[in-house]
Amino acid sequence: MQEGKRVKAISIGLLGLGTVGSGVVKIIKNHQDKLIHQVGCPVVIKKILVQDLHKDRPVEIETGLLTSNADEILRDKEIDVVIEVMGGVEETKDYLISALRQGKHVVTANKDLMALHGSELLTVASEHGCDLFYEASVAGGIPILRGLVDGLASDRITQMMGIVNGTTNYILTKMSDEGRSYDEVLKEAQDLGFAEADPTSDVEGLDAARKMTILATLGFSMHIDLDDVKVCGISSITEEDLRYGKQLGYTMKLIGYAHREGEKVEVSVAPTFLSNNHPLASVQNEYNAVYVYGEAVGETMFYGPGAGSLPTATAVVSDLVGVMKNLRLGVNGRSAVTPQYPKLLKDNEEQFSKYFLRIHVQDEVGVFADITAIFAKYGVSFEKILQLPIKKNETSEIVLVTHKASLTNYDKILLELYDLKAVKEVKSAYRVVRKSL
């Protein structure tokens, strides 16, 4: 910042004033000194798009700042940067494309939008010399995207595992710590505001899948679509599963898993038993973490709050600082790097995992031999077997942890298990990840 020279303020248009939007207003207001110190000029919020002009807000807003007409932001030539924290996909996408076409830089916290249309938006941004930053779209306050793009710039990332949904991690932590049922804990989470009234997107793994799409695209430098991510949620996990996990030294987490081998990748979201010594196993409650394995760096992990008004707003304003630094240097729109590799997905026979299986069988002679014969047929051996007391109705429970099996063989084994007359039900089946890779 040159002294004695009056520097023009940067003008912001804010789309949305919910919890994250209010956080952005607060941080820009409270940290004006730091922002001026870092980028050399003041930051002013010029206009805020809201649905209801008269609603009570958790922050003090000057009258006249609010508008319900998006054009007052998108067509205002004085607005340099549009911050999008309103959510939604199609209409929001149109707004942002309109903003970029008019040379406005964009910061967004919108994972749905970036997972579905990130590639198109980044292209438009680049064509118009605009920055489009979206750190807040994955893992809220954790600067993971910067970590991947800048911090590990010189490394080849081969694996990313993320606890990227706070709601499900809260539910699984409570179920595990307190031995309570999924339904009971979900209800409590809803009462406490940790889960939505309609929790589908969280508990069925869709939210996590969107974030993994963004992470995998950046980390593997390969355009991954949401449809490429195999998704399984947590709604059918039972207290019994978690209890067996504990006996075996495992912790259950909803894990977004992205793995690269050679030129091919796989991306999935599924409930997973982690060995207790895995760095992700100790990530509790609503916290998020992303574990990254790079060929050179080895294991790293980024941990922090995955959501919340101020954490997410911190990531948004940090992106804004990035835009403003680029503005000062006159280099906007040149930091995005297009994917280096064409998309190549692993086939099922190239995807390997250990599995935990809990099976209810007719308690009769030879059942166990029949079951193990199926696994042997596909070359899958066992790491652990739990012998369990006989239950009512002449049913026994068998718990198995396999060594690595391909997804193809695993699917075939499941089918053949169901064909066995003595197998009443495969109660549950989960991926298992131990610390050693």
Binding site, annotated residues for NADPH: 111
Residue 140 in contact with residue 164, Cβ under 8 Å? no
Q: Which of 384, 388, 385 is nearest to 361 (CA)?
A: 388
The site map against its own copies for 185-224 (x = CB under 8 A) is: ------------------------------------x---
143 binds its own copies (CB under 8 A): yes
Is residue 391 involved in binding its own copies (CB under 8 A)? no
* CB closer to its own copies, 200 vs 338: 338
* 142 makes contact with its own copies (CB under 8 A): yes
The three-state (H, E, C) secondary structure of 243-287, written as one string? HHHHHHCEEEEEEEEEEEECCEEEEEEEEEEEECCCHHHHCCCCE
- Part of the chain binding its own copies (CB under 8 A), chosen from 175-183, 232-240, 292-300, 380-388: 292-300
CB 81 within 8 A of CB 41: no
Rounded CA gap, 284 and 178, in Å? 13
Residue 152 interacts with its own copies (CB under 8 A)? yes
Question: Of 74, 106, 203, 301, which one interacts with its own copies (CB under 8 A)?
Answer: 301
β-pair type (264-275, 298-305): unpaired
Q: Which of 101, 146, 264, 427 binds its own copies (CB under 8 A)?
A: 146
Which residues sit opposite 132 in a β-bridge?
106
Among 88, 129, 151, 249, binds its own copies (CB under 8 A): 151
Classify 434 in phi/psi space as left (phi over 0), alpha (psi -120 to 50) or beta.
beta
Query: According to CB under 8 A, which one of 8, 156, 187, 421 is a site residue for its own copies?
Result: 156
Binding residues for L-homoserine: 196
> b/e per residue, 55-91, with b = 16+ CB within 10 A?
eeeeeebeeeebbeebebbbebeebbbbbbbbbeeee
Among 103, 179, 298, 379, the residue binding its own copies under the rule CB under 8 A is 298
Contact with its own copies (CB under 8 A) among 226, 297, 345, 414? 297
Least distance to its own copies, CB of residue 392, Å: 39
Rounded Cα distance between 100 and 81, Å, is: 9
Contact call for residue 248 and its own copies (CB under 8 A):
no
Q: How many residues sit in the footprint of its own copies (CB under 8 A)?
A: 58
Q: Is 434 in the site for its own copies (CB under 8 A)?
A: no
The residue range among 11-19, 159-167, 172-180, 305-313 that interacts with its own copies, by the rule CB under 8 A, is: 305-313
Q: Pick one of 63, 340, 387, 436: the residue that binds its own copies (CB under 8 A).
A: 340
Annotated binding site: 15-22, 111, 196
Where b means 16+ CB within 10 Å and e means fewer, 348-381 reads eeebbbbbbbbbbbeeeeebeebbbebbeebebe
Say if CB 369 and CB 338 are below 8 A apart: no
CA–CA distance, 46 with 64 (Å, rounded to integer): 9
12, 185, 265, 315: which one contacts its own copies (CB under 8 A)?
Answer: 315
Q: Report the chain's terminal Cα–Cα distance, integer Å.
A: 49
Least distance to its own copies, CB of residue 434, Å: 15
The answer to whether 411 touches 230, Cβ cutoff 8 Å, is: no
List residues with catalytic annotation.
211
User: CB–CB of 190/310 below 8 Å?
Assistant: no
Name the site residues for its own copies (rule: CB under 8 A): 23, 27, 31, 33-35, 37-38, 135, 141-143, 146-147, 150-156, 221, 277, 279, 282, 284, 287, 294-305, 308, 310-311, 313-315, 317-318, 320-322, 325, 329-331, 334-335, 337, 340
